[in-house]
Structure 1
Amino acid sequence: MPGTSTNDPCSQANPEEALVTNVDIEFFIDFEAKVISSFTALTVKVLSEETANLVLDTRDLDVHACVLVSGSSEEKLEYAVGEKHEALGSSLTISLPGVHKGDEIIVGVHSTTSPSCTAVQFLEPQQTAGGTHPYLFSQCQAIHARSLIPCQDTPGAKMTYAATVWVPSDLTALMSAVPSDTDVRGTQSLRFKERATGTHKAFHFLQKISIPPYLLALAAGLLEARDIGPRSRVWSEPTMVESGAYEFADTEKFLSTGEAIAGEYVWGRYDILLLPPSFPYGGMENPCLTFVTPTLLAGDRSQANVVAHEIAHSWCGNLVTNNTWEHFWLNEGFTVFLERKILGRLHGDPMFHFHALGGLKALADSVKDFGATHPFTALVPELTGGQDPDDAFSSVPYEKGFNFLYYLQTTVGGAEKFEPFFREHIQRYANSTVDSLQFKAFFIEYFKGTKGIEAIDWDAWLYGPGMPPVENQFDGSLMQQADALASTWHLGDVMGIGGGNFEGCSAQDIEGWEGEQVVAFLEKLLELRSMTALHPTTVRRMDDLYKFSASRNSEIRHAWFRLNIKAGCEEVIPHVTKFLVEQGRMKYIRPLYRALFNSQMGRKTALDTFTKHQGIYHPIAQKMVAQDLGLISK
């Protein structure tokens, strides 16, 4: 592929020759036109004597000019925008005048996003919780930063940044950085000040720690904040901010527990932005400002564990970053491992093992969906041929990665031996990147002479498709309670004909259960009845006892709806469609759309609902659901 980076098949940039180490950005947000104008000043370190060009990634960006910045003067530079690739976008090749190895220069790019920019979603007032002001938020993972600014859009090209953001005067801007009262961009004057006079105000930010471009994050809306700890606050629209402050009150516990395992939290602030419902993920680990979905607002803190996962990213992914998307497991597998360590210390080892068993089920589902020999089920998949990393997204890097780390921990003698290595790994690769072979080499170096490591089949774990080559053993005590209750309902209606004997069941069956156990019960029932559905009368009897339809926990609602669809309970259809259009989290909408589409009673509803409401979803979610429904090819 012309212009493709020699190291990252998902980027067309050339960081091996000319590396961007810092960017100073000025954004002007135009909510009416739904575009963002920017001037991006890139500090470039020349790494090769033969370097003649700086090559950046872009996608649907309107590039107006490129300049060489020297103090207050600018010199125009020749540039060319390459042919557009469907997944990778277009390369931006900028000619560099007479540079030599070791030189450091500043290259400026004037650009404007497209209204179809995949990195940002503009919301009309009616799409927000408050309904009175517009809103904007970004989602740059995996390779969408290139549609916001020209950049070296590969995890291996980490950079610091400073930014000024102009937004309408009644709104607040936030970024994945520490806010500043003054403009901290070292080399740039304000270019949009005259345009902003009387209509916009400026917000300033500084990120001193190097981050990969996918962690560049931006949001703007009618926002308020509430402090929830000595270094944390919740930001949200006024109608949700109090609920968010209550729900995430345990954030400092997660932070301090993470520090005890992985080392100092170096980012300063850990704030949370509770986003409008269309945010497509449960959370996004943007440094200093985690983005979370309002589907976490259960009213009882039962879903706040998602924050533990995003906090774990502060060390795994943000501080130590996978070199390319093919090594994504080094991000997510490590994060899940640390997340479960945090939950285990706060709630006991049985909770660690309970989540591990739930993760194994999610992994099995992903392997089944892809097929056991599909290359995307390998820990290190090949993403050659211009593939979009979003297409490979699944639980595989999360759960197969976690299982590999747990297997390594068991092999070397348990947590007391492995946790010091885990911490040393973070310290060794902090502020840099790592690939799977580097991880392997350091592991072997650290545990040299340890009995058993010679038997580790690295190739099978890293490159073999399907389920893990070794089956780990976990404490199933909490999971067994959920499985036992599921078996009771399964056997009571084993033929799916209704009228089963459930006299021994009562509301006390699930009294004292965590929300995750309820979900495990429902998921187990779905597994047991994968071929023959429960009878609708059985499902209704279950709801009479356990009141699942009244739950505010979105995880429970999601599993409950799928069970009802499988059972053919037509009365659930209005509740499912309401859930589908009141939030856009892909974890929920994709399985529910697929379940409706694959059911006799719901296929037309799935197509009609998506066709009518697809505009409320984030562009990434629109694409993935359209593929699920067969409206576009995969």
Structure 2
Amino acid sequence: MAPFDPHSFADSSQPFATHISLTLYLDFSGSSIHGSALLTFPAPHSGPLTLDSRSLTIESVLDPRSLSPLPFFASSSTGDSATDPIKGSPLTITLASHSSVLIVFCTSPSSSALQWLSPAQTFSRYHPFVYTQCQSIHARSVFPCQDTPAARIRYSARLNLPRPLSAVMSASKVSRREPVLGEASPSVPDSVWCSHDRIVEEFSMNQPIPPYLFAFAVGDIDGRDIGPRTRVYAEGGAEVLEAAAREFAGVEEMVMVGESLFGPYEWERFDLLVLPPSFPYGGMENPRMVFLTPTVIKGDATGAQVVAHELAHSWTGNLITNKTNEDFWLNEGFTTYAERRIVEVVQGKERADLNIGIGWRGLHDEMIRFKDKMEFTKLKTKQEGVDPDDVYSQVPYEKGFQFLWRIERQIGRPAFDEFLKKYIATFKFQSIDTDTFLEFLKANIPGIENQINLHLWVNGTGIPPDAMEPVSAIYTEIVSLAREFISGKVPTEEEVSHWHGQEWELYLENLPNSVEASQVTALDSRYRLSESQDFEVKVAFLQLAISSGCKEYFAEVERTLKQVGRMKYLRPLYTTLVQGNAKEEERLLAKRIYEEARDFYHPIARGVVESIFSTRL
């Protein structure tokens, strides 16, 4: 066996599937999917084929032509000795000159990619909801596959779901129709598949994507066009949909700016889905169907900056993908750079500089977080035996951005723009590693290795000395005001009259970690930051309040942790409650809140919070 990805059982000596045809029966009552996956390979293969799986029951493996069984071995479940706590279980099939294989399976209610929501957990409270989150290594808990970003697949999907509901996917919609006899997975009887209260929706993805970009959502979903190639969808009725449409009204302009900077938009559509508040990320860049947290709807269009990031992934991440998670910066560093270029054109340089400043503060915070694990402050990391969710951080985003910004400053923006376009055109629809990028960089910008210490940037720990804090009047003003807070100076109404959420976020994140409780309450009494509808501001303030021992804000902390499941908010609040100098009262509060909120959180978020408890300092 020749594994090449520390997070996958896939074997480099075996062929990658090029197409997967999925038939999925969604069982809301059992929180599971009964399905089949037809994997097709570029040529006949004889010998073992190893796939990734996690929390899947493999019912049978069949020759698609004859439906005769094929030999396979799958470890049973979480208690099996062959189960890896990070990678899951290998599924090994023996093929004899087969160019395709049919696998019949069932997901588990504990699938790490799927969150099944009861009607009470949704906005509308009338119908259940389910959605996927497959990044980084969770597609294997939805269907067996070679779950590595090195493998790019096309797919088709046939979803059988309750008739009142509808589905969206990171794929082109083909049809919504009545079920047909004989099309079900072998494990689903025709009488069940064709029940009068079921409907079938079909999708097709004709461009090759890594498995982590496979995505769907099913529920009471409605949509509204906001541009010639963009439709916003939401669960929760007209109010949520209208707010989302207003927030993202400028998306088409962003797409056109992206095309002018980085080349043609290759994905035809750029649709958006606003998910229920348990969604663990700000956004997920699934091609054709970006998933978003409702917390990005801020009412002032600044939430569109998250959309700019997910849009930028259409070129860097989706079009060119990191080969393994050890090269994750190739996705996120490039995308953070591209996002800020789009924001600079659409919303102005001052807004882009604020983004850079917030990222600069976040990068320094990550240096503190990883002070005992400096490996994860590198761009090119070693992750054997490491769960990528546990070391997810701003380092690949912000240090990656700084690296590319450093190259831009060295050669000038016009030359760097030409380099970017050539890079994207050369490697589109491919998965590459850091060495491939560096070789391309040196070949196309001769002598760059003599001008910038590429090895230090990629393989060195910490922040390189030639990284740069942004320079702008508004950034300098806000940071200066934050430094004056320690002496008791609260900004005046005149000084903050032009501030929006990002300005307050930058201000709060540059305050000392712990100040006098009276200063915190004085700041809040003037500006009501604890009541902010912008969760970036609210969470930054509540983190400060916890650190300063302001018990009067514990009720708001609890409400916040039970209201949203975005890990960007869960991680700092739970960490502040349980780690470092946290008091026993705060640790007990955190434990109680988590026990009560646990079922609301997505499985990925649960794992992150539980790791915070288990690594208490």
TM band (smaller chain): over 0.9
Distance 2:404 2:43 in 1: 37
Partner of 2:151: 157
User: CA offsets, 1:318-362, max 9 Å, x none?
Assistant: 111111111111000000010011011123333333322221211
The equivalences for 1:93-492 within 5 A come to 93-98=92-97, 105-181=99-175, 189-191=183-185, 194-196=191-193, 197-237=195-235, 238=237, 239-371=239-371, 374-384=374-384, 386-412=385-411, 414-448=412-446, 453-472=449-468, 474-492=470-488
CA offset digits 1:12-71 (Å, max 9, x no partner): 0125422100101011100000101111001112487xx51221101111001111223x
Aligned to 2:83: 84
SS in 1 for 2:68: strand
Identify the match of residue 515 of structure 1 among 488, 501, 504.
Answer: 501
* Distance in 2 separating the partners of 1:288 and 1:576: 36
CA, structure 1 residues 118+341, in 2 after alignment: closer, same or farther (shift >3 Å)?
A: same
Contact 1:269 1:288 in 2 (8 A): yes
Shift in CA distance, 507/595, structure 1 to aligned 2, threshold 3 Å: same
SS across alignment from 1:18: coil
For residues 118-138 of structure 1, give each alpha carbon's deviation from its aligned partner in whole angstroms, at most 9, with x where no partner exists. 010101111111111111011
Letter matched to residue 180 of structure 1: V
1:57 is matched with which residue? 52
Identity %: 36
User: How far is the alpha carbon of 1:619 from its aligned partner?
Assistant: 0.8
Question: 2:536 corresponds to which residue?
Answer: 555
Measured in 1, the distance between the counterparts of 2:11 and 2:172 equals: 29
1:612-633 per-residue CA deviation (whole Å, 9 max, x = no partner) reads: 2211111111111111123x79
Distance 1:305 1:352 in 2: 10
Find the aligned partners of 1:469 and 1:11 in 2 and give their Cα distance: 35
Deviation, 1:430, is 0.5
Q: Is the 8 A contact 1:506 1:545 kept in 2?
A: no
CA contact 1:411–1:453 (8 Å) conserved in 2: no
Tell me which amino acid in the other structure corresponds to 2:284. M
**Paired residue type of 2:163:** S
In structure 2, what residue type is equivalent to 1:580? Answer: L
Which AA in structure 2 matches 1:575? E
Unaligned runs of 5+ in 2: 76-81
Residue 17 (structure 1) aligns with? 14
Mapped contact 2:4–2:12 kept (Cα < 8 A): no
TM-score (norm 2): 0.93
Residue 79 of structure 2 is matched in structure 1 by none
Matched, 1:570 2:551: yes
- Distance, in Å, in 1 between the alignment partners of 2:292 and 2:383 is 28
- In structure 2, the residue corresponding to 1:240 is in which secondary structure? helix
CA contact (8 A) 1:15 1:152 kept: no
Aligned to 2:78: none
SS for the counterpart of 1:74 is coil
Alignment coverage as a number of residue pairs = 598
Contact 1:26 1:163 in 2 (8 A): yes
1:576-617 CA-to-partner distances (Å, cap 9, x unmatched) read 100100110010011111222243352221111112221111
* Aligned AA (1:626): E
SS at match of 1:298: coil
- Aligned residue for 1:163, secondary structure, equals strand
Task: Give 5+ residue unaligned stretches, structure 1.
Answer: 100-104, 493-500
CA contact (8 A) 1:27 1:166 kept: yes
How big is the shift at 1:107?
Answer: 0.8
Say which SS state the counterpart of residue 450 (structure 2) adopts.
helix
Superposed CA deviations along residues 534-585 of structure 1, whole A, max 9, x for unmatched, are 3333222222322323321111111111122222222211111001001100
Q: For residues 300-334 of structure 1, what are the alpha-carbon distances to aligned partners after superposition, in whole Å with 9 as ceiling and x for unaligned?
A: 22222101000001111111111111111100000
Deviation at 1:506, TM superposition (A): 2.8
Structure 2: distance between partners of 1:115 and 1:465: 40
**How many Å separate the matches in 2 of 1:90 and 1:487?**
51
Paired residues of 1:58 and 1:89 also in contact (CA < 8 A): yes
Provide the C-alpha distance between the structure 1 equivalents of 2:529 and 2:254, rounded to a whole number of angstroms.
Answer: 29
1:624 aligns with 2:608: yes
Shift of 1:298: 1.7
2:357–2:506: 8 Å Cα contact kept in structure 1? no
2:166 aligned partner, one-letter code: T
After superposition, give the CA deviation of every residue in 1:510-537 in whole Å (9 maximum; x if it has no partner).
1112321111111111xxx23xx33333
TM-aligned CA deviation for residue 484 of structure 1: 2.2
What TM-score do you get using the length of structure 1 for normalisation? 0.91
Q: Does structure 1 retain, via aligned residues, the 8 Å contact 2:114–2:133?
A: yes
Task: Decide which of 614, 617, 628 is 2:598's aligned counterpart.
Answer: 614
Provide the C-alpha distance between the structure 2 equivalents of 1:194 and 1:431, rounded to a whole number of angstroms: 41
Deviations 1:202-248 (A, max 9, x none): 11111111000000111111111011111111111115212211121
Is the contact between residue 3 and residue 10 of structure 2 (CA under 8 Å) also seen in structure 1?
no
Aligned partner of 1:497 in structure 2 is none
Q: Deviations over 1:227-271 (max 9, x none)?
A: 111111111111521221112112112211111111111111111
Aligned ranges 1:64-83 → 2 under 5 Å: 64-70=59-65, 73-82=66-75, 83=82
CA distance in 2, matches of 1:69, 1:394: 43
Amino acid at match of 1:628: I
**Pair 1:488–1:456, CA change in 2 (3 A):** closer
Output the CA distance in 2 between the equivalents of 1:522 and 1:569.
16
Question: What is the CA deviation profile of residues 137-185 of structure 1, one whole-angstrom value per residue up to 9, with x for unaligned ones?
Answer: 11111111011100000000001111111111111111111111279xx
